[in-house]
Structure 1
Amino acid sequence: MSDTLHNERAGAAATATGPEDAKAAYPASLSNPEQPTTPDVMQTEAASIDGAELLDRIHTFACRFICYPTAHASIAHTLWIAHAHLMDAWFTTPRLAVLSPEPGSGKSRVLEITAVLAPNALLSSNASPAYILRKVSVQDNRPTILFDEIDTIFGPAARGNEDLRGMINSGYRRGAMVGRCYMDKGKVMTEELETFAAIALGGLGYLPDTIISRSVIIRMRKRAAGEKAEAFQPRIHEREAAPLRDELAAWAASISGLAAMAQPTMPDCIADRNADVWGPLFAVADLAGGAWPEVARIAAVDALQSAKANERPSLGVQLLADIHGCFGDADRITTSDLLDGLLADEEAPWGDLRGRRIDARNLGKMLREYDIRSSTIRMPNGQTPKGYKREAFHDAWKRYLPVFPASTTTATSETNHANSAETGLGAVSDNGPIAACGGNGGCVMSGEA
C-alpha cells in the first residue's frame, strides 16, 4: 500500500480491524444458533492466514497488469474481488462498473484479472440470457458474472437483452427473483429463478442510472507516456493467480459468519444506497485489518466524489443549480431577470428546450415539480413584479444539490447550497503523487497503518 494512502485519514474509525476485533464487535455471530458455523478445520487453516497481508498480495498482483486511474481504484477493485468470495454473507452486492470514453483503456484487462481471482468466474460478452439466468439460479454454485462490451446489453442498438438488464438491476439484492414459464408434457409450468450474484461490467461510455447507483465505478483511461504495465499471459499468470484465489477462498470461508453479522461504520457522506454498495467492501476491509479499514473508506469517498463529478444531472437538478447561480447574494429575483440569467449561458440547455427557449410558463412548470412557485415580490424600487424568493428554493437546494465534505469527518452543511459547478468538489487530497500504474511496484501494499 502506498505511503500516501497510509498517511491519509478516513475520519470514520472501522468497527473492527481484523477477525479478533470483529468477534468482539459482533458477538452475536458466534452465538446465533441460526448462523451457520465454520468447520474447525477451516478455522484452523484460516488462523494461519493474515487477511491484510493476503489482500496486499492480491492488490500487488493486480497492479502488475493494470494501469489503474488512481490508487483508490486499485483498493476498490481488490476489495470487490474479495467480497465476491463471501456472497453468502451479504444482503446486497455492488456491481463493478469498469468504464472509459475510448477503446484500449484497459477495461478488458481489469475483467481478465478479476476472472482469475474471483470465485467461479464466468467471463462473457455473448452468452445467451437464458444460459446466464440458469447459471445464476443455482445459488450454491453461483458464478461471478463478468460482462465485457456492455454495449451489447445497454447500447442504443441492443435488442432482446431485457432479461439480462433485469437480472443486473434486481440481482444486487438477496432474494430477487425472475418468473418464467415453461412447457412440461403439454402443460404450462411456472418457476422462479434467483438472480443474486456478483457482476462486473466493462464497456464504453455510461451505464443507466439504475446500474450506476448500484455500482463501484472505475473509470479507466489510456496509459500516458511512461506508464507501463506487465503483459498478462494467461497460460502463465492464471497458474500464478490460482493459489491466491484458493487462499482467498479459504480465508473468506473462515470469516463468513463474522461477515454476515458485520455492521461497518460509514463515513459521514455515505448513506442509503451508497451504504448498501460499500458496506460489503468495508466489512471485508475491517475483517482483514491492517491498513485496509482506513484506505477502504478513503477509496469510497474518493469514488463517490469522482462519480458525482462525472454524473450527468437531470434537467430539473441542472435548473436548480443554475438558478442558484442567478440569485447570487440576492434574496429575491424577478422572473424576467431569472430568465435572462438562465439564457445568458450559451452552453446551458435553456435556449433550446425541444426547439424553444425557456419562458416563464415552462420555468414555472418545471419548478412546481419541486414545490416552488412564483409570487408577487416587492423590489427595492417599489415595483411589484412576478418573481421568486430565495427562501422558496432552500429546501430543494439542500435536497438535490448535496455537497461532499472536504474530508469524511466534515458533515455536509445544511446551509451551503452549491451550484452545479461546486457540486461534488472537496475531494480527499493526496499528500503527494500516487503511483497508480502497475509493473513498477507503485501499487504495492507495504508497511503498517
Structure 2
Amino acid sequence: MLHTWCYRAFHVSPGLNIYSAEKTTGKTICLQLLHVLCSQPWYAAAPAPADVIQKTLVEPATILLDDRHLTFSSSGWQQVINFLVCGLVDEERYFASHGRRVVKGYNLFSPRAFAGRGPLPSALADRSIPVCLRPATFSAVKRIQVAEVEDDYELLIDLMKHWVVRNFNQLFYSAVSRESPAEELAHLNIHQRDHVEPLLLLADLIGGAWPQQARFALRRIFHNARNDKINQSILALHDVREAFLHCHDPDRLSTSYLVQHLCELQDRPWAEWSRGKPLNGRSLALLLEGFGILPDRQRTAAGAPVRGYDRKAFLPSWQQFCDHHPETGCSASVPEQEISIGTAQPEAI
C-alpha cells in the first residue's frame, strides 16, 4: 500500500498476484482493502480487455483487477497482458493509434494487483509477488467491513502521505544509486529481482526490523509459491487443457504426447521438473490424481495399447479451475471511435 503512494520514486513496480485454487478465499476482500488504502485506485471485476486499456490510457491509476481469469479469457487477452506488463516499467511506452490519427506513446507506469483463479500468464507472474489464499474456518477470522469513510483508514492514509512527503527524495536517490547485493535476491529470477527492489528500498528506509522482515517474507513467499503443490497441479491442469486445444480437442491424448507438450512450454517448470530432469508420465499422473483424473490404456488402430487420458475426465476440473479460453487470434483494435490497440516498447533515451 505504501508503495502506491511513492512508486514514482522507482523505475519499476511489482505486481501483486492474489490467487487461490478455490472460490470464497478472500481475494475480493484483499482488493477492496487495497481500494480504500492505495493511491488513485481503479477497481474492476472481470472488465473487458478493451475497457482496461481505455480506462488507464485516459487516467493512469493503481489497477486492481478482480476475476482477472475472466478478463484474460475474452477477445484481446494477449493485448491486455502486453498492456499490463508494459505499465510495470517506467521507461516503457505503449504505442496506440487513435482511429486514423497519429500514433501516440503512453507512459502507463503504475502499480497493479490481480486477483483470480488459475495461473497468472507468465509475463505478469514473473513480475509479480505471489499471494496464495486458502479458505479459513469461520471461527478463525474476523469479518471485515470495507468502507471508504472508516476513521482508521483515513488515519493510515494520512500517515502514509506524510511519510512519503518527508522521504520521497531520499527514496528516489536511493533507487538511482543502489546496487543490490546479489546474494540477498539469489533465489529470484531476474524479473522478480528487479520488481521487488522498491519494496526492499522502502523497508531499508523505514529501518528497525523491517529490512530483515521484508527479506524473510519475500524468501518465504517465493519459496512457498514454487513448492505449492495445489498451484502446481492447477498449472498442470491448465497446460493439459492447452494441449487438447492445440490438437483441436480430440477425445483422447497419449501420456507421451502430453508430457512432450508440457516440457516444450516456455516459462514453465516441466522441462526441469525434478532435480533438473524433465516431467515424466508418473509425475504427471501424481499432479492430476488429486482431481480424480487417472490415465488408462486404450488400443490404437495399430493394435498396441497406449497409456493416455480421456478428455471427458478433465471437464469438471477444467470448468472449476480453468476459466481461460485461449483463442487462435486476437483483435487488432477496438472500435475506430475508440483507441486502437498498440505495442509496448522501451522509451528512447
Q: TM-score, normalised by structure 2?
A: 0.63
Higher RCO (C-alpha 8 Å, min separation 6): 1
Matched with 1:109 is 29
Contact between 2:32 and 2:146, CA under 8 Å: does it hold in 1?
no
Q: What is the RMSD computed on CA atoms of the aligned residues? A: 3.3
Aligned residue for 1:234, secondary structure, equals coil
Aligned to 2:154: 242
Give the deviation of 1:83 after TM superposition: 1.1
1:279 corresponds to which letter in structure 2?
A: E
Match of 2:263 among 301, 311, 315: 315
Residue from 295, 298, 303 that aligns with 2:216: 298
Superposed counterparts of 1:71-86, under 5 Å: 81-86=1-6
Q: 1:171 aligns with which of 84, 87, 101?
A: 87
Partner of 2:339: none
The equivalent of 2:285 in structure 1 is 347
Q: Which residue of 2 aligns with 1:275?
A: 193
> Cα distance, 1:163 vs. partner?
3.9
Query: Using a 3 Å threshold, how does the CA distance of structure 1 residues 175 and 106 change in structure 2: closer, same or farther?
Result: same
Deviations 1:126-159 (A, max 9, x none): 5555554455346xx731110111122223xx22
Q: Does the C-alpha gap of structure 1 residues 344 and 356 become closer, same or farther in structure 2, counting only changes over 3 Å?
A: farther
How many angstroms apart in 2 are the aligned matches of 1:207 and 1:96?
A: 10
Distance 2:272 2:148 in 1: 55
- 2:185/2:193 contact within 8 Å kept: no
The answer (yes or no) to whether the contact 2:64–2:114 under 8 Å persists in 1 is: yes
Deviations 1:242-292 (CA, angstroms, capped at 9, x unpaired) = 221122022113222222232254344345222112101101111111211
Within 2, Cα distance between the matches of 1:247 and 1:200?
A: 22
| Deviation, structure 1 residue 308 | 1.2
Partner of 1:226, secondary structure, is: helix
Which residue is 1:90 aligned to? 10
Tell me which amino acid in the other structure corresponds to 2:154: A
State yes or no: 1:181 paired with 2:97: yes
Using the alignment, how far apart are the partners of 2:172 and 2:5 within structure 1? 13
Aligned equivalents of 1:142 and 1:114: distance in 2? 16
The alpha carbon displacement at 1:188 in A equals 2.7
Q: Distance in 2 between matches of 1:267 and 1:346?
A: 31
Note the 1:105-144 alignment, pairs <5 A. 105-125=25-45, 127=47, 129=49, 132-133=52-53, 135-137=55-57, 142-144=60-62
Q: Distance in 1 between matches of 2:276 and 2:92?
A: 41
Tell me how far apart the structure 1 counterparts of residues 48 and 283 of structure 2 sit (CA, whole Å).
Answer: 47
Contact 2:42-2:62 within 8 A present in 1 as well: yes
- Equivalent in the alignment of 2:76: 160
**Paired residue for 1:200?**
113
Find the aligned partners of 2:134 and 2:286 in 1 and give their Cα distance: 27
**Alignment TM-score, normalising by the size of structure 1:** 0.50
| CA deviation after TM superposition for structure 1 residue 85, in Å | 1.1
- Partner of residue 73, structure 1: none
CA distance in 1, matches of 2:71, 2:6: 27
- Calculate percent identity across the aligned residue pairs: 20
Name structure 2 gaps, 5 residues minimum.
237-261, 288-293, 301-349
The residue type paired with residue 305 of structure 1 is H
The amino acid across from 2:123 in the alignment is T
Q: Within 2, Cα distance between the matches of 1:130 and 1:347? A: 39
Query: Over residues 137-186 of structure 1, what are the superposed CA-to-partner deviations in whole Å (9 max), with x where a residue is unaligned?
Result: 46xx731110111122223xx22344422211221111222222225xxx
**Per-residue deviation at 1:321?**
4.3
1:208-287 matched pairs, under 5 angstroms: 208-224=121-137, 226-234=139-147, 237=150, 239-262=151-174, 263=178, 264-265=180-181, 266-270=184-188, 272-287=190-205
Change (3 A) 1:192 1:129: farther
Q: Give the paired residue count.
A: 252
Give the Cα separation in 2 of the matches to 1:275 and 1:216: 11
Matched residue SS, 1:145: strand
- Higher fraction of strand: 2
Q: Aligned to 1:151, which of 69, 72, 78?
A: 69
Question: Structure 2: which amino acid aligns with 1:110?
Answer: C
Instruction: Classify 1:177/1:228 alpha carbon distance in 2 versus 1 (closer, same or farther; 3 Å).
Output: same
Question: 2:106 is paired with a residue of what secondary structure?
Answer: strand
Give 1:348 deviation, angstroms. 6.7
CA contact (8 A) 2:60 2:108 kept: no
Q: What is the CA deviation profile of residues 319-353 of structure 1, one whole-angstrom value per residue up to 9, with x for unaligned ones? A: 54458679xxxxxxxxxxxxxx956668279x98x
Q: Structure 1: where are the runs of 5+ without partners?
A: 1-80, 327-340, 358-449
Instruction: Give CA deviations for 1:91-128 in whole Å, capped at 9, x if unaligned.
Output: 11111111011111000010011111110111112555
Aligned equivalents of 1:150, 1:298: Cα separation in 2: 29
Q: Is the 8 A contact 2:88 2:111 kept in 1?
A: yes
Compare CA radii of gyration and give the structure with the larger one: 1
- Residues 165, 254 of structure 1: CA spacing in aligned structure 2 closer, same or farther, 3 A cutoff? same
**Aligned AA for 1:114?**
L
Q: Secondary structure of 2:131's match? A: strand
C-alpha distance in 2 between matches for 1:343 and 1:203: 29
Of 220-229 and 290-299, deviating more is 220-229
